[in-house]
Amino acid sequence: SQTIHQWPATLVQPVGSPLSLECTVEGTSNPNLYWYRQAAGRGLQLLFYSVGIGQISSEVPQNLSASRPQDRQFILSSKKLLLSDSGFYLCAWSVPSTGELFFGEGSRLTVL
């Protein structure tokens, strides 16, 4: 069966520090991969998605970047965090034929 894991689960970082959140999927090949964020009091915002290795689409201009170095690995990064980067980050994968999303456990980022 397919599984998705992301880490770390919780992160407290100072403003200006770098960020790396990792996500891996097991049990499937060539999934579509996604990074979403829920900021305080807001809905789930799509940040990046990828349909293949090295292929990244950015939905919202921001302080973050994403990379897909391997088929089932998706990484969210920042060189210098801002206070506004605080939030709950969710990685997800989907089967291209149905589009149904399967979410990871989430990573809560607090930038101080």
Partner 1 sequence: ILNVEQSPQSLHVQEGDSTNFTCSFPSSNFYALHWYRWETAKSPEALFVMTLNGDEKKKGRISATLNTKEGYSYLYIKGSQPEDSATYLCGGGGYQKVTFGTGTKLQVIP
CB 48 within 8 A of CB 58: yes
Distance CA 95, CA 100 (A): 6
Residue 63 in the binding site for partner 1 (CB under 8 A): no
Question: Could you give the C-alpha distances from 72 to 14, 33, 52, 56, 75, in angstroms and in order?
Answer: 30, 8, 9, 13, 10
Residue 27's region, left for phi above 0, alpha for psi from -120 to 50, else beta, is: left
User: Which member of 44, 53, 82, 112 binds partner 1 (CB under 8 A)?
Assistant: 44
Smallest gap from Cβ 109 to partner 1, in A, equals 16
Closer residue to partner 1 in complex, CB, 54/96: 96
Residue 45 in the binding site for partner 1 (CB under 8 A): yes
Contact range with partner 1 by CB under 8 A, out of 9-17, 20-28, 42-50, 73-81: 42-50
Residues that bind partner 1 (CB under 8 A): 32, 34, 36, 42-46, 49, 51, 57, 59, 90, 94, 96, 98-106
